[in-house]
């Protein structure tokens, strides 16, 4: 039985209209950007359905219609059929792997006559629903490894299918769900481990061929192994609260490293990395001793972190050279400054930076951008559409767009925090995490700050799949939020 309180008599009054206004504003800005990116000098009708700006109007109208339908459904529908929706999207993702149509090297698109759909965009909201359903079930505890691994399995399964479609960028988006896991109680050490791995990879690869003043020690290896010493020692204190044990570990590791550096500098030059590896072995043995003597399981996690850090670092070169595809490897090398390939892997980013920089403070005006009109920037109305904003609207327009996204993110946080049930809160943070990941990575890759992985900017990039997918994500949450004050018996 469902009763309505006097405060919330109906769905229309319960909907968060502020979020919808932000959504509509982003759609308008997005269409203006698509129009500017796809416009060619001499075009007389930007509303013609044969043009990309005209087609984007169709996608926008259908998205608004989809949003209305989602709002009209009972909010309990999404909870009840979460697993069914997830299973259906998994089957669709699996079927897409064998899709005979390959577009730009990817098999992630289903071609249905004139319509092309990308199931990976819709699998995001299905995965969010399934994770929310699992984590809101009776007795679920994210601190139990068995329960946590179940949630990870729900996230990683569509990732594997999407990778099999040769769509690595879309697969990486699913890592955003770990931000929600952290909000729901996932140990911070897991998130810290992920950040540490990025640090090891970037520093180790970028400075591997540079040596210290002794001429024998690689800067990359030296800094990474020093990081392993420090991170592992700090984790001892962070997870056990034992300051003395942390000090002892740091004293031996840092003291040994300094002595080795002095000996290499003033006595016999040699590769200090070998001493650092011996100190890593000492540190691992020390943590193992603490674990066996105290039987505290936390030391086991620290031990796994230390061993995993070394294994990850020494496998990074192999992964870069033998696992990643050639274009992915080149993009990483260009991003890290190892290579300057302005005519190849770095061309897109270089041209987008020129376009954004040429916009100045106020921009060149609507349809007046030269870099975009002359098609210097590849994928300028999809993955690199933010460069159009920078060129035509300048710093002022770019800042306005980013502020709109910030307003959306902050609003989603508020909506998620006010959910009375865990299902709504978990789903809300899933939506928030996906949007945050897309905006951060897309804008970052246009500015040359993050790797180019080919993901769209929400509500801006041309195309129906991404626009519909983001609309599903957002409006399902708005409908769940609209039912927050219903009293269910």
pLDDT tens digits, one per residue of 299-337: 888 888 899 888 888 887 777 766 666 666 666 766 665
What pLDDT does residue 346 have? 62
More confident call, 1 vs 144? 144
Looking up tokens 């993110």 gives 409
Buried b (16+ CB within 10 A) or exposed e, 321-341: eeeeeeebbbbbbbbeeeeee
Instruction: Tell me if 220 sits within 8 A of 210, measured CB to CB.
Output: yes
Question: Is 117 in a helix, a strand, or coil?
Answer: strand
Confidence band, pLDDT 50/70/90 cuts, at residue 7: very low
| Confidence (pLDDT) at 5 | 45
Cβ–Cβ under 8 Å, residues 224 and 201 = no
> Which residue would you say has higher pLDDT here, 150 or 392?
150
In the chain, what are the helix, strand and coil shares in percent, each to the nearest 5? 70, 5, 30
Round to whole Å and give the CA distance between 25 and 216: 58
- What is the Cα Rg of the chain in Å? 26
Q: What is the pLDDT of residue 8?
A: 45
The answer on pLDDT for 1 being more than 50 is no
Residue 402: name the closest of 358, 444, 355, 354 by CA: 444
User: Does residue 298 surpass a pLDDT of 70?
Assistant: yes
Residues 6+ apart with CB under 8 A from 276: 221, 222, 225, 226, 229, 257, 260
Q: Is the pLDDT of residue 489 over 50?
A: no
Q: b/e per residue, 408-430, with b = 16+ CB within 10 A?
A: bbebbeebbeebeeebbbbbbbb
Measured CA angle at 377 (ends 372, 383), to 5 deg:
105
Mean pLDDT value across residues 59-72: 94
- Tell me, what's the pLDDT at 2? 46
Residue 416's alpha-carbon distances to 56, 345, 409, 421, in angstroms, are 30, 40, 11, 10
Please tell me the distance from the alpha carbon of residue 172 to that of residue 181, in angstroms, as a whole number.
16
Q: Does position 19 have pLDDT exceeding 50, yes or no?
A: yes
Residue range 469-476: average pLDDT? 95
Both structure tokens of 400: 């306005």
Q: How far is CA 78 from CA 132, 192, 200, 478, in A?
A: 10, 33, 41, 12
Does the pLDDT of residue 338 top 60, yes or no? no
- Check if the beta carbon of residue 404 is closer than 8 Å to that of residue 475: no
**pTM exceeds 0.85, yes or no:** no
Name every residue whose Cβ is closer than 8 Å to that of residue 293 and which is 6 or more positions away in sequence. Answer: none
Strands (E), 47-177: 110-112, 115-117
Residue 406 has pLDDT above 80, yes or no: yes
261 pLDDT higher than 80: yes
The per-residue pLDDT for 293 is 84
SS3 4: strand
Alpha-carbon distance of 316 to 322, in angstroms, equals 10
């Amino acid at each position: 039985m469902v009763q309505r309180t006097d405060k919330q008599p109906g769905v229309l009054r319960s909907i968060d209209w502020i979020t919808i206004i932000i959504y509509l504003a982003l759609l308008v800005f997005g269409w203006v950007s698509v129009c500017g990116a796809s416009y060619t000098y001499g075009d007389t009708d930007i509303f013609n359905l044969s043009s990309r700006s005209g087609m984007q109007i169709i996608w926008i109208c259908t998205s608004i219609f989809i949003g209305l339908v989602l709002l009209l459904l009972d909010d309990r529908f999404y909870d009840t059929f979460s697993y069914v929706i997830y299973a259906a999207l998994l089957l669709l993702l699996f079927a897409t792997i064998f899709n005979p149509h390959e577009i730009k090297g990817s098999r992630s698109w289903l071609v249905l006559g004139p319509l092309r759909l990308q199931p990976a965009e819709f699998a995001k909201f299905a995965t969010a629903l399934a994770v929310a359903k699992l984590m809101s079930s009776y007795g679920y505890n994210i601190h139990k490894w068995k329960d946590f691994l179940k949630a990870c399995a729900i996230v990683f399964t569509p990732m594997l299918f999407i990778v099999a479609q040769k769509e690595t960028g879309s697969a990486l988006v699913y890592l955003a769900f770990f931000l929600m896991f952290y909000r729901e109680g996932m140990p911070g050490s897991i998130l810290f481990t992920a950040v540490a791995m990025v640090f090891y990879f970037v520093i180790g690869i970028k400075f591997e061929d540079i040596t210290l003043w002794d001429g024998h020690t690689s800067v990359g290896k030296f800094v990474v192994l020093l990081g392993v010493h420090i991170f592992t020692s700090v984790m001892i204190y962070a997870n056990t609260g034992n300051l003395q044990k942390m000090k002892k570990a740091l004293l031996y590791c840092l003291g040994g490293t300094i002595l080795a550096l002095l000996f290499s500098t003033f006595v016999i030059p040699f590769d200090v990395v070998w001493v650092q590896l011996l100190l890593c072995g000492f540190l691992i043995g020390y943590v193992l001793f603490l674990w066996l003597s105290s039987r505290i399981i936390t030391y086991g996690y620290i031990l796994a972190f230390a061993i995993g850090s070394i294994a990850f670092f020494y496998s990074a070169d192999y992964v870069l050279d033998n696992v990643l595809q050639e274009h992915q490897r080149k993009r990483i090398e260009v991003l890290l400054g190892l290579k300057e390939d302005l005519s190849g892997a770095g061309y897109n980013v270089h041209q987008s930076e020129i376009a954004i920089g040429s916009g100045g403070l106020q921009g060149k005006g609507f349809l007046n951008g030269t870099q975009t009109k002359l098609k210097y920037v590849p994928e300028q109305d999809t993955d690199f559409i933010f460069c159009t904003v920078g060129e035509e609207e300048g710093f002022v327009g770019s800042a306005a767009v980013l502020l709109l996204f910030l307003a959306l993110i902050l609003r989603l946080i508020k909506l998620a925090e006010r959910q009375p049930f865990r299902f709504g809160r978990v789903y809300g943070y899933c939506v928030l995490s996906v949007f945050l990941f897309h905006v951060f990575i897309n804008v970052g890759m246009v500015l040359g700050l993050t790797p180019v992985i080919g993901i769209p900017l929400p509500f801006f990039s041309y195309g129906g799949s991404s626009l519909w997918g983001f609309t599903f994500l957002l409006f399902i949450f708005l409908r769940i939020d609209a039912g927050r004050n219903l009293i269910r018996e």
